[in-house]
Structure 1
Amino acid sequence: MAGVRRMKLGSQGLEVSAQGLGCMGMSAFYGPPKPDSDMIALIHHAIDSGVTFLDTSDVYGPFINEILIAKAMKGGFRERTELATKFGISISDGGFQIRGDPAYVRASCEASLKRLDIDCIDLYYQHRVDTSIPIEVTMGELKKLVEEGKIKYVGLSEASASTIRRAHAVHPISAVQLEWSLWTRDSEEEVIPTCRELGIGIVAYSPLGQGFLSSGPSLVEKFSDDDFRKHLPKFQPENVEHNKNLFERVNAMAASKGCTPSQLALAWVHHQGNDVCPIPGTTKIENFKQNIGALSVQLTKEEMAELETIADAVKGERFGGVIISWKESNTPPLSSWKDE
């Protein structure tokens, strides 16, 4: 297979591999952390294969995923990668708190630089929007960090169209990260068109439906006690029973095309446009190899339409209140802000 193509992400000059690697599941949320040596071997294999865009966050672990990435960057791998990390979800007293105040933004950035053992973060996202603070205030601090050379490009994750517009007016946003797949299409109406109007790249996380589009209903039986997917509506028994039809139809179509269901689902995301970079996560080299095979799967307009018809039948809310999304990301007006 030809090497993984490169793409421009946003209009500010960031260039990444057309498919990235989501690193969250190596350390958090999808069961216990995996052995460092195995994950470093996987990251090195990804980079050697041309997948150079790595996605992490300070909350993955917390902190241990960034430390893992730092270990993997030794021996010349840093120079070959684009590193994205995130701030904004603080874990205190066992609970999550969303923060975007300037002091927290700066402290988080400094801490991530230290854990990653780098001088500059390529792409720094606000992981979730702090709805108690005008987005302009958070962006003001990020702009300072860009000017100081601590971050190159700024991103938002799970942000509404209006929040994206307001943020972009303070400092250009290079990428918006959102969940987008045959499993989840709620950002297509407003968020994605806004990104395209403003020249902002789109990074699609969970492009395989948190694993459902790879494994189908059997995935649920393998969840460990500390896998957060157990609590999500789409994975509840009554919805799994319904959603297995989706998997079976995707599986049948994949078989007729000579590819796997995950390759077909990923190809659907790639076919959304040259401004979209999916970042499927995995902890196994064989799954990684399968995922990059999606780059060579071609879909006709008729096949795209058929897949969308299948996707329309997905049952279950996305987060069901377990996690906040872009729908809860609007912030107060700047005029309301009084800097203490």
Structure 2
Amino acid sequence: MKDSAGRPGGAAVPESGSGPGRDDGVTVVGPPPDPAPTPARRRRTAVGLAAAAAVLGAALVVAYPLSGDGGDDSGAHKAADSGPAPTAPPAAGDRPASASPSTAGTGSASASTDTTPPGKVAPGASKGGTPSTGASSGNDPLGVAVRPYVYSNPCSQHFLVDSAPEQVGPPANEGDAVRWSGAYGAVSSDEQQIALTVQGRDRDTVVLEALHVRVVAKGAPLAWNDYSMGVGCGGDVDTKSFDIDLDRGSPTVTTKNGQRDFPYKVSATDPEVFYVTVHTRAHDVRWDLTLDWSTADGRRGTVKVDNKGKPFRTSAGSARPGYDYPLGGGEWIKRAP
């Protein structure tokens, strides 16, 4: 017997979709299926399908975990995208060592300065009062406040300014001197008096051993104009103070006007005020001070005193063109030679 294709006898291969129960267009190769499923076979099939459904459901739950806000899985994705998990802190032996604390007893105290851009400064425009600064270091047992411009009389302070008179505002009183000098880039002319207020941090006594001057740089006097901060003034008021001649080869701090020399003692309830006057007739000098101290428990140190992190600066100016600002006037008048 030959089949429809002319081949020798055998079971006929159903055409695509022609087998019993098949309607998916898949050609089945092999023996024909059983004509009808038995009850036992139906039970085995149902059990197999249930097991497959359970496995598929578990896979879906793992692949798409439910969130607590109605099934939105954005939180899971955000957690996955936020980067690697934080690592545990290193063991004590693996942690980097902290920076060593600075050596106690060495610091600096600086005067405040004003860096207002140059321009006309009206009299009394700044009412900031006397500039000062706190102590140099938290480890020091004392604090130093600095006033960089002290007028021993209203006319004692002169400034050198690298500007013509019409570009310079009216003179400043002592309270405005920091702002005025900063506005015009001014330098003290011929001499400069500063005040140091030294006070302990607590009731323990601190001994002030010595005050030293250090010349940072020295050069030719500035070729600028000299401006007086007052006119028609009386004589100087004597204050106990210290004097420094910056023209000497090795300047030192010397006493004047009855001031006794170091040492001194200070505490929180017993401060001291020191007036230091420097002068030069031949140089432009940058300088600062150091104050040595000690305590009863054996600590010793030095406080550096400067002008807000920079040296003070004083230049000879007596040979320069000078200008005064007459009382009641409105402009600078050239001083007679």
For the aligned pair, the TM-score class normalised by the smaller chain equals: under 0.3
Q: Please, what TM-score do these two structures have when normalized by structure 2?
A: 0.21
Higher Cα radius of gyration: 2
Instruction: Select the structure that is richer in strand.
Output: 2
Instruction: Select the structure that is richer in helix.
Output: 1
If asked which structure has higher relative contact order (CA below 8 Å, sep 6+), I would say 1
